[in-house]
Amino acid sequence: MRWSKALIPTLKESPSDAEVVSHKLMVRSGMIRKVAPGIYNYLPLCFRVIEKIKDIIREEMNKAGAQELLMPILSPAELWQETGRWDIYGKELMKVEDRHKKHYALGPTHEEVITDIARKELKSYRQLPACFYQIQTKFRDEIRPRFGVMRGREFIMKDAYSFHRTEEDLDSYYKVMFKTYSDIFRRCGLKFRAVLADSGAIGGDVTHEFMVLASSGESLVLSCPDDKCGYAATSDTAESVIPCPDEKHRLSGSFAEKHTPGRKTVEEVSDFLKIKPFNLIKTLIYKTSKKPVAVLIRGDRELNTAKLKKFLRDGFVELAEDALVQKITGTDVGFAGPRGLKENIKIFADFSVKDMGPAVMGANRKDTHFLNALSGKDYQVDKFIDVSIAAAGDKCAKCGMPLDGFRGIEVGQIFKLGKKYSNSLKAGYIEENGRENTGWMGCYGIGVTRIIAAAIEQNNDDKGIIWPLQISPYHVVLMGLNMKDSGTVEVCEKLYGELTDGGVEVLFDDRDLRAGFKFKDADLIGIPIKMIVSEANLKSGSIEIQDRMTAKSEIFSLERAVSVIKERTVLSNTD
């Protein structure tokens, strides 16, 4: 491609709404332009990267025996109503109405549609196992679309669904997908880690998220530093043992009541009483689809709603509104405690509360707290459970080592769905013995456009993007430094022809611009190899090859340069 003809609208300035480096660089390098919040035009450079990622995904998915198909973006409300997700999915589900007043969803994911195919077309055990995938635009009305294509409202996803006769068969295909995903992300040049993740309200199912390591990542991952143990999970899934406060920080004294005027938050109460937040118990009232519950957690920890949902086996769990808290505690918000609640509700406590010793807690009376309360004596707990968000420094639940924390960007997730959708959509098939059976399902997603942002988060410097060769929009940028010089033009044209004919993807900067300007642009768009044709080097029949990452320059004769570039741009499946 000749740069003079290419649409690569580079910019000096970052857009004002860009918070993370990938968003800034994707706009500045002319890859994307915003159409509306969370909705982007993918300009030609970006399109090339998308196609490369799709190619890698296709190769690896096909290798794993999956078949590509394409489902519609619009799916009828009736299908979603059959699984109940028309209502449960929430506001992220974009809904449209046609001229006949019939409702449709703009697909955020395709379990319903694929299971409808399965119940109609996979009728015999002979057709199983089977895995289908598509690469398609998805829609989710994200509450906070941000970080450019990282969290869009319209984005490209690869989604795959597998169908099996037995749980064992699903287990073994899940392992195949685990490896397939690892190969895909490795081939995209990403540093990533697969971690255990939350499987949603109805527990029991296994799921892994593939996290690209990046400080801007929205997910916190906890991992055991002991390689032999290898435990790694997202913070809302990770099970950990929370260290107890040192003896010297424990409270002592007998149970008593204390006037705490206007002190409601953990900070206010601990400041007032000159104690540490970890000497305090927070009492939270949650609504569920049945009766409300009270949940106690140590003052310095945060409650994890995903774990609570899982424990209660209830998809609807929400913090109670003020009026309900007042009804249950008989007082203002901020003074709730497990002793003397006005309604008979279950009281669960996080393990962090179990061994904290004498604690301060709300007294269910305005401006009043209890001091030195002990569980089993001064208040009762129905059950101790794990409902806290794990944090770095907690002990690994498997081996006891203190956990490390790192931030990650979720680029993919694999999931053992079990029979959830095959049951609700009655997707049966006939077994060998003639009986009808419902199949086991797995689903597997990859954020194609999110991979681009994640790759840039990992590969950039103060000059711009540094593409991994595998997904770079071009392999080489060929730069004629003085395009007014006929010798330079002649050599550039010759190299451009030879390299392009040899299968190398060359962006030929044929623009008649200052060399400094061209270097800035080339660094910004991040092509990994520069081929620099200067009058000075041409005098000795040589040209310069420069590496974007290391900025290392080498001088080669013209003949040798072409073969060097060919060698350096050959990609195999193991790259």
For β-strands 207-213 and 404-418, DSSP reports them as antiparallel
Nearer to ligand ATP, 184 or 396 (CB): 184
For β-strands 529-533 and 476-480, DSSP reports them as parallel
The amino acid present at 103, given as its one-letter code, is H
Instruction: Report the nearest approach of ligand ATP to the CB of residue 196 (Å).
Output: 14
Q: Which does 235 bind (CB under 5 to 8 A by kind): ligand ATP, Mg ion, none?
A: none
Q: Which does 447 bind (CB under 5 to 8 A by kind): Mg ion, ligand ATP, none?
A: ligand ATP
Cα–Cα distance for residue pair 386/312, rounded to 1 Å? 12
Positions 341 through 360 that interact with Mg ion (CB under 5 A): none
Instruction: Report the nearest approach of ligand ATP to the CB of residue 413 (Å).
Output: 4
Nearer to ligand ATP, 157 or 251 (CB): 157
Secondary structure letter of residue 566 according to DSSP: H
Secondary structure letter of residue 348 according to DSSP: E
Cα–Cα distance for residue pair 79/83, rounded to 1 Å? 7
Instruction: Report the nearest approach of Mg ion to the CB of residue 209 (Å).
Output: 6
Nearer to Mg ion, 411 or 478 (CB): 411
Instruction: Report the nearest approach of ligand ATP to the CB of residue 417 (Å).
Output: 12
Q: Which does 109 bind (CB under 5 to 8 A by kind): ligand ATP, Mg ion, none?
A: ligand ATP
What's the sign of the alpha-carbon dihedral 370, 374, 379, 383?
A: positive
Cα–Cα distance for residue pair 311/319, rounded to 1 Å? 16
10 Cα distance to chain centroid = 28
Residue 50 φ then ψ, to 5°: -55, -45
Residue pair 28/463 in contact by the 8 Å Cβ criterion: no
Instruction: Report the nearest approach of Mg ion to the CB of residue 313 (Å).
Output: 21
For β-strands 281-288 and 293-298, DSSP reports them as antiparallel
Instruction: Report the nearest approach of ligand ATP to the CB of residue 45 (Å).
Output: 19
Positions 411 through 430 that interact with Mg ion (CB under 5 A): 413
Q: Which does 152 bind (CB under 5 to 8 A by kind): Mg ion, ligand ATP, none?
A: ligand ATP
Q: By three-state DSSP, how is residue 429 classified?
A: strand
Instruction: Report the nearest approach of ligand ATP to the CB of residue 152 (Å).
Output: 4
Q: Which does 412 bind (CB under 5 to 8 A by kind): ligand ATP, Mg ion, none?
A: ligand ATP
By CB under 5 A, which span of 293-301, 315-323, 409-417, 530-538 interacts with Mg ion? 409-417
Tokens of 287: 């609504």
Instruction: Report the nearest approach of ligand ATP to the CB of residue 135 (Å).
Output: 12
Using CB positions, name the residue nearest to Mg ion: 413
Q: Which does 68 bind (CB under 5 to 8 A by kind): ligand ATP, Mg ion, none?
A: none
Residue 157 φ then ψ, to 5°: -130, 150
Burial 60-91 (b: 16+ CB within 10 A, else e): bbeebebeeeebebebbbebbebbebbeebee
Nearer to Mg ion, 413 or 542 (CB): 413
H or E segment to which residue 58 belongs: helix 44-63
Nearer to ligand ATP, 298 or 450 (CB): 450
Instruction: Report the nearest approach of ligand ATP to the CB of residue 109 (Å).
Output: 6
Q: Which does 355 bind (CB under 5 to 8 A by kind): Mg ion, ligand ATP, none?
A: none
Q: What DSSP assignment string belongs to 95-144?
A: EEE-TTS-EEEE-S--HHHHHHHHHHH--BGGG-SEEEEEEEEEE---SS
By CB under 5 A, which span of 300-308, 407-415, 456-464, 534-542 interacts with Mg ion? 407-415
For β-strands 440-447 and 553-557, DSSP reports them as unpaired
Nearer to Mg ion, 199 or 270 (CB): 199
Nearer to ligand ATP, 447 or 468 (CB): 447
Q: Which does 334 bind (CB under 5 to 8 A by kind): Mg ion, ligand ATP, none?
A: none
Tokens of 353: 């509360």
Residue 409 CA: distances (Å) to CA of 39, 134, 144, 219, 490? 19, 22, 16, 6, 46
Secondary structure letter of residue 31 according to DSSP: S
Q: By three-state DSSP, how is residue 92 classified?
A: coil
**Using the rule CB under 5 A, is 109 a contact of Mg ion?**
no
Instruction: Report the nearest approach of ligand ATP to the CB of residue 451 (Å).
Output: 7
Nearer to Mg ion, 59 or 236 (CB): 236
Nearer to ligand ATP, 142 or 169 (CB): 142
Footprint on this chain of ligand ATP (rule: CB under 6 A): 109, 140, 142, 151-152, 155, 157, 410-413, 445, 447, 449-450
Using CB positions, name the residue nearest to ligand ATP: 447
Instruction: Report the nearest approach of Mg ion to the CB of residue 142 (Å).
Output: 13
Residue 218 φ then ψ, to 5°: -85, -15
Residue pair 199/174 in contact by the 8 Å Cβ criterion: no
Instruction: Report the nearest approach of ligand ATP to the CB of residue 208 (Å).
Output: 11
Nearer to ligand ATP, 198 or 386 (CB): 198
Q: Which does 438 bind (CB under 5 to 8 A by kind): Mg ion, ligand ATP, none?
A: none
List interacting residues with Mg ion (CB under 5 A).
413
